[in-house]
Amino acid sequence: MSDDTSQGGHDDDRRSVPRRRGSASALIFRESDTMRFGIKGELRDISATGLGLLMKSPLEPNEQIKIQLTNVIQRVEKEVRGAVRHSTLQEDGTYRVGIELSSRLTPLEVSLLTMGIPTDPQDDQKSWV
């Protein structure tokens, strides 16, 4: 499992499904937001049952959200729903947000959302197209 993305004290031993580095932009819609203004985020890791996002603002645990994922390299768009499980402040002031999905992603969907070019040139975990 060389493409796992262990970060910031997350306990990988309790995961039932392995996660992979994600490559997609994310637009998050809060269920409580009646105006439906999306919050931008970045997909950091993905599995069939969950997502790891990097965001500029926190989300509340147990909050119900809808997420539009877009990978322009693979020309893939996917809308998913889920619940926030944690929102952790990082040293750089961003938030690492863990989402448990309401329904599983297929292996093909996971694969398409992990392919692409890293957005951060300093990122040492490159994904090749």
**Residue-level pLDDT at 8:** 41
- Helix or strand or coil: residue 108? helix
CB distance 73 to 111 below 8 Å: no
Of 68, 58, 127, give the one whose Cα is nearest residue 98.
58
Reported as a single tens digit per residue, the pLDDT across 64-101 is: 999 999 988 888 899 999 999 999 999 999 999 999 99
**Residue-level pLDDT at 26:** 95
CATH topology of domain 17-109: Thrombin, subunit H (2.40.10)
Instruction: Read off φ and ψ for residue 13, nearest 5 degrees.
Output: -65, -25
pTM value is 0.75
What's the Cα-to-Cα distance from 47 to each of 2, 37, 57, 108, 122, rounded to whole Å? Answer: 14, 26, 23, 11, 24
